């Protein structure tokens, strides 16, 4: 048998040298065989799985579990040209670049444990070479973007805030504002800045609780970002009414109380109460007055605990707010008497 195998291989080599190679052909049906997937819920029906070709994901229609992600399309890319639709000419395949990753999702990753025995050594070498080509900027971004994602997830912030925080941190890296400052401090300042840009009310104390950074360090880094990044110089200041709806919901108050507190805030603003004072303290005082007016009692201790301020702050802002409201009431009465 071995002699016959050698003769066959010699004849095959001779034929390869004298004849043209015949290309391999396979018949593929138009519909094709459906892929088989299985889910932890016991679903194995191919029709109960949703395949997203744009994202390369497969999910179960019964329980919503993501079965596969980042799938590679092995089919040949097709180019289409259109004189009427310019977007067709620019069509491409593959996942788009994302600023949420240090390498924007374009760097190749090597996992030697997934390679077979023959290519495992080669995979180890390629992985080491790939790690050696990573720059200091990419290493810094890799650590920082992981911290940003962790804080965003822990604080329940939106995806738009996540994207904005990454953009702010990348701007800080490009301007070399990271030198001499900790990554945690700049991450916290970037998230606080992103919340300000997107109109999501978060105080310095709340960001400090989510991170391992002190309040003063966050404020100092925030001032550095606002001073050096041009697009942040025209950012509007935080107003107390941005916090109002959030704390009304946390205290389980009605819409009537919210509308009354909104009117009180406007009156206090017109009286100059928003200058040089913590906006959360002003909001707490207006909520307390609105609760009394609408007969939905909440104690100062309950409001102080929910807004994370002291009862003394509420009492001081309450006295100032009542002084402005009484003065405004007297002014209205005088105008009515003159008429």
Give DSSP secondary structure letters for 17-66.
Answer: HHSPPPPP-----SS-PPPP---TTS---GGGEEEETTTTEEEETTT--E
Which pLDDT belongs to residue 308? 85
Tell me: do 126 and 196 sit in the same domain: no
CA distance 27 to 22: 16
CATH of the domain at 268: 1.10.472.10
Does residue 81 sit within a domain? no
Which pLDDT belongs to residue 25? 33
Domain end: 232, 256, 289, which one? 232
Spatial strand order of the sheet with 66-68 comes to: 49-52, 57-60, 66-68
Calculate the dihedral angle through the C-alpha atoms of 62, 64, 69, 75, rounding to the nearest 10 degrees.
Answer: 40
Which pLDDT belongs to residue 128? 81
Q: Tally Cβ neighbours within 10 Å of residue 43.
A: 17
Tell me: do 177 and 211 sit in the same domain: yes
Tell me: do 264 and 177 sit in the same domain: no
Cα separations (Å) of 336 from 10, 39, 271, 330?
Answer: 115, 74, 20, 10
For every one of its 339 residues, what pLDDT tens digit does the chain have, with 9 covering 90 and above? Answer: 444 444 444 444 444 444 444 333 333 333 444 567 788 788 888 778 888 776 778 888 888 787 777 666 665 555 555 556 555 555 555 566 677 777 676 666 767 777 777 777 777 787 787 777 778 888 888 899 999 999 999 988 989 999 999 999 999 999 999 888 999 999 999 999 999 888 888 888 889 999 888 999 999 999 999 999 888 877 777 777 778 888 898 899 999 999 999 999 988 888 888 777 888 888 999 999 999 999 898 999 999 998 888 999 999 999 999 988 888 777 666 666 655
Does residue 292 sit within a domain? yes
CA distance 178 to 169: 9
Which pLDDT belongs to residue 61? 84
Does residue 23 sit within a domain? no
Tell me: do 260 and 317 sit in the same domain: yes
Tell me: do 128 and 144 sit in the same domain: no
Tell me: do 118 and 169 sit in the same domain: no
Calculate the dihedral angle through the C-alpha atoms of 267, 272, 273, 276, rounding to the nearest 10 degrees.
Answer: 150
Tell me: do 153 and 227 sit in the same domain: yes
CA distance 158 to 198: 10
How many CA atoms lie within 13 Å of 116's alpha carbon, on the beta-carbon side? Answer: 1
How many CA atoms lie within 13 Å of 231's alpha carbon, on the beta-carbon side? Answer: 9
Tell me: do 123 and 177 sit in the same domain: no
Does residue 249 sit within a domain? yes
Tell me: do 114 and 66 sit in the same domain: no
Tell me: do 246 and 333 sit in the same domain: yes
Does residue 28 sit within a domain? no
Reading the block at residue 135, the tokens are 């720059």
pTM of the model: 0.64
Buried/exposed code over 274-308 (b: 16+ C-beta within 10 A; e: otherwise): beebebbbbbbbbbbbbbeebeeebebeebbeebe
Does residue 268 sit within a domain? yes
Place of tokens 């639709």: 85
Range of the domain at 110: 96-132
Does residue 333 sit within a domain? yes
Q: Could you say which DSSP state residue 101 is in?
A: S
Helices then strands, each counted (H, E), the chain: 13, 3
CATH of the domain at 51: 2.20.25
At what angle are helices 183-198 and 215-228 packed, to 10 degrees?
70
Please tell me the total count of domains within the chain: 4
Tell me: do 247 and 327 sit in the same domain: yes
Does residue 256 sit within a domain? yes
Is 240 within 8 Å of 230 (Cβ atoms)? Answer: no
Domain end: 197, 213, 232, which one? 232
């Amino acid at each position: 048998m071995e002699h016959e195998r050698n003769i066959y291989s010699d004849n095959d080599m001779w034929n390869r040298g004298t004849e043209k190679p015949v290309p391999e052909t396979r018949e593929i049906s138009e519909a094709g065989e459906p892929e088989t997937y299985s889910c932890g819920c016991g679903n194995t029906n191919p029709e109960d799985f949703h395949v997203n070709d744009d994202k390369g994901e497969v999910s179960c229609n019964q329980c919503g579990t993501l079965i596969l992600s980042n799938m590679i399309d092995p089919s040949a890319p097709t180019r289409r040209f259109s004189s009427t639709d310019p977007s067709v000419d620019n069509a491409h395949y593959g996942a788009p670049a994302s600023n949420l990753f240090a390498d924007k999702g374009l760097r190749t990753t090597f996992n030697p444990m997934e390679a077979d025995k023959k290519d495992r050594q080669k995979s180890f070498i390629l992985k080491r070479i790939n790690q050696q080509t990573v720059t200091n900027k990419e290493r810094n971004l890799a650590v920082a973007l992981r911290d940003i994602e962790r804080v965003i997830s822990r604080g329940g912030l939106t995806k738009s805030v996540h994207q904005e925080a990454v953009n702010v941190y990348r701007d800080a890296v490009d301007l070399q504002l990271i030198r001499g400052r900790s990554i945690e401090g700049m991450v916290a300042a970037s998230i606080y800045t992103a919340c300000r840009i997107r109109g999501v009310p978060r105080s310095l104390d709340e960001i400090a609780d989510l991170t391992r950074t002190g309040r003063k360090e966050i404020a100092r880094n925030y001032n550095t970002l606002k001073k050096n990044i041009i697009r942040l110089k025209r950012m509007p200041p935080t107003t107390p009414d941005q916090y109002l709806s959030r704390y009304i919901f946390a205290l389980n108050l009605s819409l009537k109380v919210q509308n009354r507190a909104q009117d009180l805030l406007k009156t206090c603003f017109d009286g100059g109460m928003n200058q040089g004072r913590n906006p959360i303290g002003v909001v707490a005082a207006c909520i307390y007055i609105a609760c009394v007016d609408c007969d939905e009692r909440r104690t100062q201790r309950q409001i102080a605990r929910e807004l994370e301020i002291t009862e003394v702050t509420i009492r001081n802002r309450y006295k100032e707010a009542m002084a402005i409201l009484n003065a405004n009431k007297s002014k209205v009465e005088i105008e009515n008497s003159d008429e």
